[in-house]
Amino acid sequence: MRVLVTGGAGFIGSHITEGLLSEGHDVVVLDNLEPYYDVGIKRRNIEVCRDLGGDSYTAVDGSILDEELVAEVFDEHDVEFVYHQAAQAGVRASVEAPKRVHEINTTGLLDLLEVAADAGVERFVHASSSSVYGRDEYLPYDEDHPTNPRSPYGVTKLTAEHYCNVWSDLFDLPCVNLRYFTVYGPRMRPNMAISNFVSRCLNGDPPVIYGDGKQTRDFTYVDDIVEANLALLDTDAADVETMNIGSTGNITITDLAQYVVDETGADVEIVYDDAQEADARHTHSDVSKARELIDYRPTTSIREGVSKFIDWYRQNRDWYEPLVLDS
């Protein structure tokens, strides 16, 4: 299969790319190395994938907003399948720069859909987010839960889902929206809670929690995200669907921070600061639909995954930690 992964130099995109290459697929990555965080991590991701894939791997430096370049990539590489991971991430960042987030997450997706439909790709998989739900009316979230996003980021992801559904109906482009629940793991973005907590604890600094710490998150280990995405290579797995992809469990942010303190052996006390605007109070996924359609069965619990990440962090501290601390 000839696969395009947009945002393939990023955290999730690079892990999906590794999975595809390991299964013998040809992968072209389109990524403009947006400096939302230190691009050294993204360059490292490219090196890892290039070493694994050899001639089966191509990295194209460019933006999904460059319509001419996008068309060239589809044409030159005869793209059959698309994993659209490129996005401007960050709920809080979207509050500060909503127009930029809209341009990338909505207009950029629309450009890709137009080209993908013309190219007749077999499936277009869009990385959506649990941020589309907003305030919880009940937990866990199933796909029928009302969608009332609290941030511009959540609005863009929900809008993108609607565009995918419309393109499926109007242009016969099979689209699947995967609603990720807070993904973490090796090479993760340094400005996320888990990486920040681990970095601070290993350097003798206390983890800082914004809010009272009673808010909960459904953290999903990246290997489970990859398995869900690769299952969609089976064209009989799902056609036009929207599915939650989470861990099925959740944890309070205080319990998470304390677990990191205990696992790292840091002699520190948790610090609390003012809550951040636009953050959801709770997230918790119901993955029954994904289990039924693609046999999605997450295997990594939150505590197990955090322990794995701490071990990985220690082993890769020489290159990863300076980039985390500088971001």
DSSP states along 94-126? HHH-HHHHHIIIIIHHHHHHHHHHHHT-SEEEE
Contact at 8 Å (CB) between 178 and 298? no
Query: Strand 216-217 and strand 251-252: pairing?
Result: antiparallel
**Which of 57, 153, 180, 320 does the annotation list as catalytic?**
153
Please give the Cα distance from 183 to 52 (Å, whole number): 23
**7 Rama sector, left if φ>0, alpha if ψ -120 to 50, beta otherwise:** left
Please give the Cα distance from 5 to 222 (Å, whole number): 16
Please give the Cα distance from 115 to 146 (Å, whole number): 31
Helix orientation angle between 253-264 and 302-315, rounded to the nearest 10 degrees: 40
DSSP state of 141: B
Query: Strand 251-252 and strand 2-6: pairing?
Result: unpaired
Q: Which residues contact 55 (CB under 8 A, 6 or more apart)?
A: none
Q: Residue for token digits 């370049």?
A: 69
- The CA-to-CA distance between both ends of the chain, in Å, stands at 36
Buried b / exposed e across 49-67, counting CB within 10 Å, b at 16+?
bbeebeebbbbbebbbeee
Please give the Cα distance from 259 to 242 (Å, whole number): 33
Is residue 259 flagged as an active site residue? no
Active site residues: 153
